[in-house]
Structure 1
Amino acid sequence: MFSSSLSFSAAPKPPIWSFNHGISWRERKRRSAAIEAAGFSYQKFVNFALDETKRRVHLVPSSLQEKLGSIPVTDGKAELKLQSFEAPKIRLLRSMCINGNEAMQVMDFAVFPKVEYDLPIFCANFFTSSAMNIIVLDLNPLHDVISNREYFEKYYERLMPLGLKYEQLLPWGGKITSESLRFFSPIVIWTKFSETQAKHNALFAAFKDYYEAWLELMDQVSMEMDASRVMCNCEAQHRYLTWRAEKDPGRQILKKLIGKDHTKDLLRIFLFNGVDELGSKTFLDYFPEYKLEDGTVNDKRSIMGKSFENRPWNSKGEFIGTNF
C-alpha cells in the first residue's frame, strides 16, 4: 500500500502504577495491549525479506526512493519509511512501513516480477492498532487460478500444504468481496485478530515461510521467450496495479498522513509503480462496471454485492465458492 528513511522509535512505557488506580480491567487490558503493540515493529519483516533476497540475488537500490524521499508527514507524529530495489528477475521490490500514534503500525511489502516472468506477486499488507490487526499475506496470482489450471499447477499445487499449515493459526478473517478475491490465491492468509504477541509470532513465521517459498519459485522460473506471453504477463500485472492504485484500502490513512496530492504520487509512482508505464488502459477499461453515468469511477470498493464469509477453496486448492 504505503523514499524517506525516517527511523522507528518505540513509545516509552508509562510507569506500572498508572494502570492500577481507578481504571477498569477492560481499560487496563486495552492499555496493556497498546503498550505491547507500540513496541512492535514490522521493520523486522522487511529486514528479513531483504536479507533473504540478498542471499540469492544482487539487489540494486531503485531511484524511486529519491523521487519520493521528501514527502512530509503532516501530523508530526507518524513516521514513514520507504525502501525500493531491483534485481535480475525483480522489476520492483518495495516496502512502506508506518509507525503512527496510538500504537498504529502499517506494513505494505510487495515484490513485482519483471514481465518476462509469470511469477506471482508477493504481497503482504498488515495493519496493527491497539484494538485490531488486519492481515493479508499472499502470493497474488498473475493469472487466474480458478479457470487456469495450468497456472495453478505450475505455482500453487505444491504450496497448498503451506497454506494449510497456517489455516488454524491465522484463520479466515470473515467476509471479503468478490472483487478482492479475484486477485488472491488459494493459499492467501486473510485474517483479523486482537491478540498480540502469540499471533504476531505466528504471522512472522508465516511471512518467512511464504517469502522463502516465493524466492524458491523465483530461482526456478525461466524467462519467457514468447513475445505474446510476455505481453500477456505485462497486461496482467498492469491490470493488478491499476486495481490496487485505484482501490487500495490504505488510501484514507495516507491522505490523513501526507495529504491528497502526495497520496496520489505515492500510490502511482511508488507503491504501484508501473500503472503509468506498463500499459495505457485505464481503470474503467479493465473494470467498466465501475463507470458512473457521468463517466467517472465509482469510489466504492465493492459494487458486486457478493462476499465470502469462509475460505472459498478446499484443501486441494479447488474453488468451492459460488461463481462471481
Structure 2
Amino acid sequence: MAASPFSYQKFVSFALEEAQRSMDLIPLPLQQCNCKKAVDGKTELRMLSFRTPKIRLLRSLTIDGGESMQVLDFGIFPEPEFDLPIFCANFFTASGMNIVVLDLNPLHDVINESVYREKYYSSLMPLGQKYAELLPWGEKITSESVRFFSPIVVWSKFTSSQCKHDVLYAAFMDYFKAWLELMDKASAENDASMITYNREAQHKYLTWRAEKDPGFPLLSRLVGESHAKDIVRKFLFNGVDALGSKSFLDYFPEYQQEDGTINKKRSVIGKSFQTRPWNAKGEFIGNDLR
C-alpha cells in the first residue's frame, strides 16, 4: 500500500502528548488489538484507549487506507461526576474530499438553556468564530445532529486542493487545549441526583451516536458487520450498554416505526440548516428544530 502524503496519526500523537503533560493516562483493554488489518489486507485500523480520574474514556480510532482514505475518530468522555462537554473529532479524507466535525459536544442543552452554555462556551466563542471563518459551514445538516452540537462546532467540507489540513490541525490543537483547560478547572459534583443527570445525558448521547454512527457502513466493509458492531458499541461508544438501561426508542420515540423497529433514516423530523444556526454570542438563531 502506498504511503499517504497525509495522515491523522500526528493529531493523535499531539493529543496524547498534550494530555500527558497534566495527567497520567491509564491504558484500557477495550480494543481487541491496537492495530488491525482490514479484510482487504491493506487498510490499517489503529485503536487506543485510556482513562484518568476525570475521564471515563479517551479513545482514538485511525484508519489508514493510504492515498485513498484517511479517517480519525477521536473522543473524550468525562466521568459522570463532571458535566464537562464531550470532546469530538470526526475527520474523513477520501478521493480529494474532506468531511470534518470538531466540537466540544454539550452534555446538556445549549439551545434552550443558557446556564450550561454560558458556563462552558461563552469564553470559547472567539475561538469558534475564528475557525468558523477558516473552515466554513459544510452544507446542510439535520436538526437531529444540531441538537448534539455546541455553538463552536466546526462542521466543514473541503477538497484536498484547498490545502486546509494545516488549518484543521491547528483547530484540533486549539480545541483540545481548550477542553483540557475546562477539565483542569472542573470540580466533581457531590449531588447524587446531578451525577445521575449527567450519567443519563451521556448515555443518551452514546445511544444516539451508536445507533446513527455514519461510519458504520465503512467499518462493516473493512472488518465485517459483527466486528464493526463490537467496535461501535464496545469501543467507540463504550458505556452505551453500561451507563443506562434506556433504549434508543426510549430516548427518541419519534424514530419508532409501525412494526416497533427503528427508522434507519438519518432525519425523520425537523429542518435542515444550510448555514450556522448560532450567532457570535453562541445564541441559537435557528428558531426551533422542528
Same fold by TM-score greater than 0.5: yes
* Whole-angstrom CA distance in 2 between matches of 1:68 and 1:292: 38
Match of 1:170 in 2: 135
Match of 1:235 in 2: 200
The two structures have a TM-score, normalised by structure 1, of: 0.87
More strand by share: 2
**1:52 equivalent in alignment to 2:18:** yes
Can you list the C-alpha shifts for 1:219-264, whole angstroms capped at 9, x where unaligned? 0000000000000000000000000000000011001001110011
Shift of 1:195: 3.1
Match of 1:31 in 2: none
> Retained in 2: the 8 A contact 1:82–1:94?
yes
Shift of 1:101: 5.0
Query: Closer, same or farther in 2 for the Cα pair 1:194/1:72, shift >3 Å?
Result: closer
Can you list the C-alpha shifts for 1:254-311, whole angstroms capped at 9, x where unaligned? 0100111001100000000000000000000000011111111111111115100000
Match of 1:153 in 2: 118
Query: Closer, same or farther in 2 for the Cα pair 1:173/1:224, shift >3 Å?
Result: same
Question: Identity, % of aligned pairs?
Answer: 65
* Whole-angstrom CA distance in 1 between matches of 2:67 and 2:195: 45
* Whole-angstrom CA distance in 2 between matches of 1:46 and 1:188: 19
Match of 1:144 in 2: 109
Query: Closer, same or farther in 2 for the Cα pair 1:165/1:89, shift >3 Å?
Result: same
Q: 1:307-322 to 2 correspondence within 5 Å?
A: 307-322=272-287
Match of 1:112 in 2: 77
Amino acid at match of 1:59: L
Tell me which moved more, 185-194 or 314-323. 314-323
Shift of 1:148: 1.5
* Whole-angstrom CA distance in 2 between matches of 1:185 and 1:292: 30
Can you list the C-alpha shifts for 1:141-168, whole angstroms capped at 9, x where unaligned? 0000011211011100000000011111
Shift of 1:102: 4.9
* Whole-angstrom CA distance in 1 between matches of 2:41 and 2:230: 20
Q: Which runs of 4+ in 1 moved over 6 A?
A: none
Shift of 1:99: 0.7
Match of 2:56 in 1: 91
1:41 aligned residue (1, 4, 7)? 7
RMSD after superposition: 1.4
2:247 aligned residue (282, 299, 302)? 282
1:266 aligned residue (224, 231, 236)? 231
The two structures have a TM-score, normalised by structure 2, of: 0.97
**Structure with max Cα Rg:** 1
Query: Closer, same or farther in 2 for the Cα pair 1:272/1:316, shift >3 Å?
Result: same
Q: Secondary structure at the match of 2:136?
A: coil
Amino acid at match of 1:225: N
Match of 2:94 in 1: 129
Aligned length: 289
* Whole-angstrom CA distance in 1 between matches of 2:258 and 2:247: 17
* Whole-angstrom CA distance in 2 between matches of 1:170 and 1:70: 31
* Whole-angstrom CA distance in 2 between matches of 1:69 and 1:200: 25
Which runs of no fewer than 5 residues in structure 1 stay unpaired?
1-8, 13-37
Can you list the C-alpha shifts for 1:173-205, whole angstroms capped at 9, x where unaligned? 010000000000000000000035730000000
> Retained in 1: the 8 A contact 2:45–2:63?
yes
Amino acid at match of 2:171: A
